[in-house]
Amino acid sequence: MDLTGFKAFDFSEGVPYFSVTKNGLTFSKAVTLKLGCPSYVRLLINSETKQVVLQVCSENTPRSVSFYKEKGNDIFSVRWNSRDLIATFERLLGTTFENHGFRVEGALVDEQMMLFDLNFAKPLV
C-alpha cells in the first residue's frame, strides 16, 4: 500500500486547550507543540463572536508577545499572568474567576494559527 500523504499520529501531544483562572491564562503542552514551539505569538480577540486566535509571528510583528522559551525540563505549557488579560477574559465570559476558572479547547486552523471559541468554555471544577 502506498502511504504517501499519511502521517503518524502523535499520541503524546493531547488536546490543545487553555485554562483561565484568577491567577492567569495557561496554554497546554499540546498548543505549544501543535504550533511548533513558537517564540512569539499574537493573541487576537474577537469580542463580538467571543473567539480567540493564537497566531505565530515574529518578534517584530506589532503586538507580538513572547511565548515559548525552552526550559530544558520538558515543560511545554505557557502561562501569562497579566491582570488586564484576566479582566478581559472575565468580561468576555461574563463572570469572575473567584469560584472557578474555565477551560477552552482549541482547533488548529493552520500551522500558524489556533482558534479558541469561548462560547464552548467549560467550567473548571
Q: What are the pLDDT digits (tens) for 82-97?
A: 999 999 999 999 999 9
Residue 73: the pLDDT is 78
Could you list the beta-strand ranges (E) of 31-112.
40-46, 51-56, 65-66, 78-80, 102-110
Cell of 94: 461574563
- pLDDT at residue 13 in the model: 73
Residue 11 within any structural domain of the chain = no
| Side chain identity, residue 111 | E
* pTM of the complete model: 0.88
Full domain range(s) for residue 86: 17-65+81-123
Do the domain assignments include residue 5?
no
**What is the count of structural domains for the chain?**
1
In a domain, 25, yes or no: yes
Q: What's the confidence (pLDDT) of residue 47?
A: 96
Query: Which parts of the chain register pLDDT below 50?
Result: none
Q: How far apart are the first and last CA of the chain?
A: 47
Show Cβ contacts of residue 57 under 8 Å, excluding neighbours closer than 6 positions.
Answer: 38, 40, 41, 42, 64
